[in-house]
Structures are given as structure tokens and as C-alpha cells.
Amino acid sequence: MIGFVTPIDLRSDTVTQPGEEMRRAMATAEVGDDVLDHDPTMAALEERVAELLGVEAALWVPSGSMGNLIALFLHLKRGDRFLAPLGAHVLDAELGTAAWLAGGMPHGLPVMSAEAVTAAGGGESPYYGLRTTLLCLENTHNASGGTVTPPDEHALLVSAARSVGLAVHLDGARLWNASVALGVPPAALTVGADTVQVCLSKGLGAPVGSVVAGSSSFVVEARRVRKMLGGGVRQGGVLAAAGLVALDRISRLADDHANASALAAGLRSLGWDVPEPATNIVLASVPDPEKTLTSLRDVGVFASPMSGKVRFVTHGDVDSSDIAEVLRRLREDA
Ligand SMILES: *Cc1c(COP(=O)(O)O)cnc(C)c1O
């Protein structure tokens, strides 16, 4: 049936196309050689993100995976153990690099609570035991359906980590969504974290780019690891310019959240099993996800598999009329 209908792509918030304004900013960006010294537009982006996150310094990286890897590489020594929520991107979606490049033994926590962190991270272990040294948080939590950790819960997790001597890394690929959903500044969600990774290429719509941030001394080392991984770019200002435009679009995420909520409500009215989304990710429980994904595709609705469910993600290239159209197609197809 594809070919007769315009596809509506809800596989991810990464599918957005850079618009006119963003392309113009890229084309006219002031640039330097970011590997030699510093590209001025890169520097401007990094300063702006550091300020937004309430940290000393920040470093542009080509992807969120590289940002997480750089942070974990600097936090972990071979044989250290790190804690992360089950389903975390660092556990399941980065090819295990946290283990084989950063050297950490992963330990997934089924429930993220202060008690779980102190139980898993504390206590004496025998000389042949692992040393748990790091807690990785993820806000919003992608695999749980874009769920949000509010500042008070975040503070409890951080202080639990501290009480047993753990460093804290925050995978904030969609921290902007959490900030908008909670109505708090992004910096309110990074308090106490040693390092933070945020994506510019998800809901904010940049074609490429993430930022890893923390103390100034962390960023000095992070720049070395980025180079080691092949992530240093020369006239990076062309890419950073897109990031600067993207950062003007944080408040726009509220539309994505409203569209996700409307989609969830519509799906429920069609009898689907869908909880209310906290942000822009709708996770539907279906008996056979592959089968559902295929029948969705047949009516020109693209979704993706996640956590044994079907995931729909709203973003800047779909609006409320697209959501209404998705629901119309499903109603007709039912
Ligand atoms: C998308 C994402 C990343 C990074 O992804 P890249 O595709 O490497 O930019 C990291 N963590 C979470 C939770 C994500 O959703």
C-alpha cells in the first residue's frame, strides 16, 4: 500500500530533516580548525551547553554514543564495575563498548532507587571481587518509554552513589525533554553528576552532534579521548552551527509531548495497551511486535521495536494533523 500514502515516520526523533534556517546557519558559520586550536562556532556551542547544564565545560562530539564512551572511558579502569538501569543505552545499544573499550563490567539495576544503588555499589568485597566505581543514570529513560527522573529523585540517587563512593555519569540524550516535561531548567537535572552527555540530534533536530560535559579538567582529558576515537573534526563550526539553532528549539519539545499524549489516547481508544507517555515516546504492548510493525508499515506508519514493544516517537517533522492521520489510518485498517 506504500506508494499510495505518504509515510509518517515515528521510528525515532532522529529522522528529522534540517530546515532552511538550520542549513543557512551551517552554510554561513564562522569556522576554524577545531583539532589544531579551536573553531569559534564550536567554542560558542560548547560554552552555551556548559551554561545550560550548569557545568564548567563541554565538548562537542559526533554522537551520543561517543559522548557516553568518552565519559565512561575516563571514569572506569579495567575490572571496575558500573551500575546502570536495565535497558540503558550504555548497556544495550552501544555494542558493549562500556566493557570492551572503557573496561567496565556492567551491572544492570532492575529498579533505580537509592536503596538499589547502595546495595549494589556498597559493602566490602573480597580481594578478587569487582570494585564498583560508577553509577550511570539515563534521563529520560528511552527503553522505559521516555520516562522522567525529577530533581528530587535524581538527588536521592546521586547522594546514594556518593555515600558508597561512586562517580556519576548522566546519559541525558533526551535531558531536554525531561526539562520541558518537568518545567525545570536542564541544570536542575544535572546536579551532582560528574559528567553529562546530551544529544542535539534527537528532538532538537540537528543532523549530527552531541555534547559531553563536566569539569574543565574532565573536558581537557575528554578532548584527548575524542581524538583517540577519531572524533576530532576540523571546520566543525559547520556542524556546531546546526547545534546552536537546535538549542533554540528546546521549548518546542512541548509540542512533541502533546502529540505523543494525543497518539497514546487515540491508540487507547482503539483498544491498544498504551500507558500515558511522560515525554515524546509512546510504548505500546502488543502480542507480536514484528507483526504489528509490518501492518503499521502497510498503512504507511513507521514505528520501531523496543523493549519487546512497539515504539512511536514524536518529533519536529510531525504535527498534530499527522497524529490524527495515523489514528485515521489505524481506524480504517482495524
Ligand atoms: C540516542 C541515544 C544515545 C546516543 O545515540 P547516538 O545515536 O550515538 O547519538 C545515548 N543514549 C540514549 C538514551 C539515547 O537515546
Fold of 31-247: Aspartate Aminotransferase; domain 2 (3.40.640)
Contact 2, 300 (CB under 8 A): yes
Comparing CA positions, the residue from 215, 154, 209, 158 lying closest to residue 186 is 154
Comparing CA positions, the residue from 153, 132, 219, 144 lying closest to residue 174 is 144
Pocket test for ligand 1, best of 89, 90, 175, 208 (most atoms within 8 A of CB): 89
Q: Is the CB of 141 under 6 A from ligand 1?
A: no
Quick one: pLDDT at residue 333?
81
Residue whose grid cell is 526539562: 179
Per residue of the chain (334 residues), give pLDDT as tens. Answer: 455 689 999 999 999 999 999 999 999 999 999 999 999 999 999 999 999 999 999 999 999 999 999 999 999 999 899 999 999 999 999 999 999 999 999 999 999 999 999 999 988 888 898 999 999 999 999 999 999 999 999 999 999 999 999 999 999 999 999 999 999 999 999 999 999 999 999 999 999 999 999 999 999 999 999 999 999 999 999 999 999 999 999 999 999 999 999 999 999 999 999 999 999 999 999 999 999 999 999 999 999 999 999 999 999 999 999 999 999 999 998 7
Strand partners, 214: 57
The bridge status of strand 309-313 relative to strand 304-306 is: antiparallel
Q: 265 CA distance to ligand 1 centroid (A)? A: 27
What predicted TM-score, i.e. pTM, was given to this entire model? 0.97
Residue 47: CB atoms within 10 Å:
12
Nearest-atom index, ligand 1, CA of 140: 13
Pocket test for ligand 1, best of 142, 195, 311 (most atoms within 8 A of CB): 142
Q: Which CATH number fits domain 8-16+252-333: 3.90.1150.10, 3.40.1390.10, 3.10.110.10, 3.40.190.10?
A: 3.90.1150.10
Quick one: pLDDT at residue 1?
47
Nearest-atom index, ligand 1, CA of 138: 13
Residue 95: CB atoms within 10 Å:
11
Nearest-atom index, ligand 1, CA of 66: 8
Q: 89 CA distance to ligand 1 centroid (A)? A: 7
Give dist(CA 98, CA 72) in Å, integer. Answer: 6
Strand partners, 106: 82
Angle at 181 between CA 319 and CA 211, to 5 degrees: 90
Task: Give the domain ranges of the chain.
Answer: 8-16+252-333, 31-247
Q: Quick: pLDDT tens for 124-177.
A: 888 898 999 999 999 999 999 999 999 999 999 999 999 999 999 999 999 999
